[in-house]
Chain A
Amino acid sequence: NAGVTQTPKFRILKIGQSMTLQCTQDMNHNYMYWYRQDPGMGLKLIYYSVGAGITDKGEVPNGYNVSRSTTEDFPLRLELAAPSQTSVYFCASSYGAGGGANVLTFGAGSRLTVL
């Protein structure tokens, strides 16, 4: 089992460019999440999904878009990159919403720099 796989691990973007961060999980988890973590800060929720075809905004969705066409994949799209989007992005998944099912498993992270 690979768990949660994120690509790319590192990327440098110029202001105004767009890109997609890929996230895939092989655990048949229903719930998937995108977080960003700025230096010395906690994780902020960008978007989340409770199943294929369903997505919803988190705390900091502006400048991002997501889709969930399959259970396995949850890509994060950055449109018109800005320096404020320089951060480490983590994708995570969990099986369900109750009890021991809602433990998060994280990918290794994607470090994005916008210059």
Chain B
Amino acid sequence: RKEVEQDPGPFNVPEGATVAFNCTYSNSASQSFFWYRQDCRKEPKLLMSVYSSGNEDGRFTAQLNRASQYISLLIRDSKLSDSATYLCVVYNFNKFYFGSGTKLNVKP
């Protein structure tokens, strides 16, 4: 079973739309959770950490449900510049495990 699973997409949405990505993880002892963004042919970059109480950074909201082992990312008012692959990342005992990513295409 994979450590982290994500819907690969692609999600094709118009500018201004709200879009949500989900991710599940297999190890209930996982300690920290993140969303990274990866542009085409570039390295991943941290978008935001995910906290148990949920957290928001501008148009981005992340939620964690430890009981269901489920992480979500909500993007409001999508911009063309949000087009990228979003990687769900779980940290567990010195190792970071990556999902395969969800591709987002924001169209004019």
B100–A106 contact, CB under 8 A? no
Instruction: Tell me if A45 is interfacial: C-beta within 8 Å of chain B.
Output: yes
Q: How far is the CB of B27 from chain A (nearest CB, A)?
A: 13
Q: How far is the CB of B62 from chain A (nearest CB, A)?
A: 14
**Band of interface residues on A:** 20 to 34
Q: How far is the CB of A24 from chain B (nearest CB, A)?
A: 15
CA distance A71 to B49 in the complex (A): 25
| Interface window among B11-19, B40-48, B74-82 | B40-48
CB-CB contacts below 8 Å: B1-50 with A: 4, 8, 31-32, 34, 36, 42-46, 49
Which of B4, B36, B43, B49 touches A108 (beta carbons < 8 Å)? B43
**Band of interface residues on B:** 20 to 34
CA distance A98 to B92 in the complex (A): 10
In the complex, which residues of chain B have a beta carbon less than 8 angstroms from the beta carbon of A100? 49
B32–A104 contact, CB under 8 A? no
Q: Can you list 22 pairs linking A and B with CB atoms under 8 Å apart?
A: A31-B94, A33-B96, A40-B100, A41-B100, A42-B4, A42-B87, A42-B99, A43-B87, A45-B97, A58-B95, A92-B96, A99-B32, A103-B34, A103-B49, A104-B34, A104-B36, A104-B46, A104-B89, A104-B96, A106-B43, A106-B45, A107-B43
